[in-house]
Chain A
């Protein structure tokens, strides 16, 4: 049973445009959500996170939106750059304090930025 779902295995976006990556979750105990960027044969790199008490968090070109009632979050990257091409994982955790719980990951979305 996939508790964190990224339904788009891949996404192609033109350079300079907005990239929107989506993530849905089923476990209502999830309270903290993170986005990671990953290249093949490397560990994930943390991008941005959001706690369930917020509906938006912004950091530079990256913005994460959370719709708790819909159990949906999205990552917006604007403007998209060639270096953004990678696999993006959505991850969720039951608690927002202490980092004491393992993350549940989605299957990832391969973002391809076209020049």
Chain B
């Protein structure tokens, strides 16, 4: 149980385009999902908290207009990287909360050329 999927697993895009990443909890409902980012050889950093039916809460330093989050249902949250630039290239990981524990998706590798 407690399986979280992400799609796509890898994406390459041109600078200036937008990319959407989906996060799904497959076997449980999650009112809260989270988006993290990991740079090479660094820890996971929380970007935002996604609450079903309400606006996302962003961490300090994360641009909400650049990283659009939508949590339309109890099993799906999406992260859209708008007008992507090479510095947005990173490993993006989502998690879904089941009670106190967060279960993570497999991650999405984004490369912006």
Contacts and interface: CB of A to CB of B under 8 A. Distances in A.
A36 B104 contact: yes
Contacts of A105: 43-45
- Interface of chain B: mostly helix, strand, loop or mixed: strand
Interface of B: 2, 4, 6, 32, 34, 36, 42-46, 49, 59, 91, 93, 95, 97-107, 109
Contact of A32 (B2, B59, B100, B106): B100
Nearest to B59: A102
Given A49-B100, A51-B100, A98-B100, A43 B46 contact: no
17 contacts: A36-B104, A43-B6, A43-B105, A46-B103, A89-B44, A97-B99, A99-B32, A99-B97, A99-B98, A99-B100, A99-B101, A101-B49, A102-B36, A104-B46, A105-B43, A105-B45, A106-B43
- Interface of chain A: mostly helix, strand, loop or mixed: loop
B6 A107 contact: no
Nearest to A108: B43
Interface size class of A (residues with CB under 8 A): 20 to 34
* Residue with the greatest number of chain B CB neighbours at <10 A, chosen from A32, A51, A101: A101
Contacts of A108: 43
Contacts of B107: 41-43
Contacts of B109: 41
Given A41-B91, A42-B107, A43-B4, A93 B100 contact: yes
